[in-house]
Amino acid sequence: MDVEITRLPGIGTKQEFDTASGRRIGVLTHRDGHRELLVSAREDPDACSASVALSDAEGQALGTLLGAPNLVAQLQDQQREVEGISTAQFPVGAGSPYDGRTLGDTAMRTRTSTSIVAVVRDHVVSPSPGPEFVFRAGDLVVVVGTGEGLGQAASILEDG
């Protein structure tokens, strides 16, 4: 899929692609950071047929709706190519010792040789969270590693 990026001096950046149905979908990111979802016809991308302003939370929710299932599917596809590596999702329960603590506090990579590649919270994906990311009960943690490492990761999130 080709995404065209157009710099709009004084306005921001527009990123667009053509759909198979002949529509053009884009996101206009203004210099001040707010975004608009754009829909137009392929023949005349300047004649916008719909524009929806999105708050940061709305943009994240839309991205999650479109991206979260794809992220997990891509990780699962990629793991099929590497024998011995798997992807799993583990919840952070209300009784977890890491509820309210940072990813760095888990020392997950050091203790299990696994990697936390995303955390899903309230239907919003946080890809590649850093060590400062704070877990909350209800988070779904996406982990990549060996079967043994994934078992250890689940135990750490559950019991410490």
CATH number at residue 10: 3.10.450
Last residue of one domain, picked from the residues 32, 57, 79: 79
Its sign, for the CA torsion 96, 99, 103, 107, is negative
Identify each DSSP E strand in 55-123 by its residue range.
86-91, 115-121
The mean pLDDT value of the chain amounts to: 85
User: Residue 151: its pLDDT value, please?
Assistant: 92
User: Is the domain of 72 the same as that of 90?
Assistant: no
User: Residue 78: its pLDDT value, please?
Assistant: 58
Query: What's the rounded mean pLDDT across residues 52-64?
Result: 79
User: Is the domain of 30 the same as that of 49?
Assistant: yes
User: Is the domain of 8 the same as that of 63?
Assistant: yes
User: Is the domain of 75 the same as that of 89?
Assistant: no
Pairwise pLDDT comparison (146 vs 59), residue with the higher score: 146
**Number of CB atoms found within 10 A of residue 56's CB:** 10
Query: pLDDT above 70 covers what percent of the chain?
Result: 86
Domain enclosing residue 99, as ranges: 85-159
Query: What's the rounded mean pLDDT across residues 8-21?
Result: 87
Is residue 14 a contact partner of residue 28, using CB atoms and an 8 Å limit? yes
In this predicted model, what pLDDT tens digit does every residue of 68-117 receive, in sequence order?
Answer: 556 666 666 655 556 777 888 889 988 899 999 999 999 999 999 999 99
User: Residue 127: its pLDDT value, please?
Assistant: 87
User: Residue 70: its pLDDT value, please?
Assistant: 62
User: Is the domain of 101 the same as that of 71?
Assistant: no
Number of domains present in the structure of the chain: 2
User: Is the domain of 66 the same as that of 113?
Assistant: no
Cα–Cα dist 93/39, whole Å: 41
Q: Nearest to residue 90, comparing CAs of 137, 44, 51, 55?
A: 137
Identify each DSSP E strand in 93-139 by its residue range.
115-121, 124-127
Last residue of one domain, picked from the residues 47, 79, 111: 79
User: Is the domain of 123 the same as that of 149?
Assistant: yes
**What's the pTM value of the predicted model, to 2 decimals?**
0.54
**What's 123's domain CATH number?**
3.30.70.1450
User: Is the domain of 148 the same as that of 104?
Assistant: yes
Give kind and range of the element (H or E) at residue 18. strand 12-18
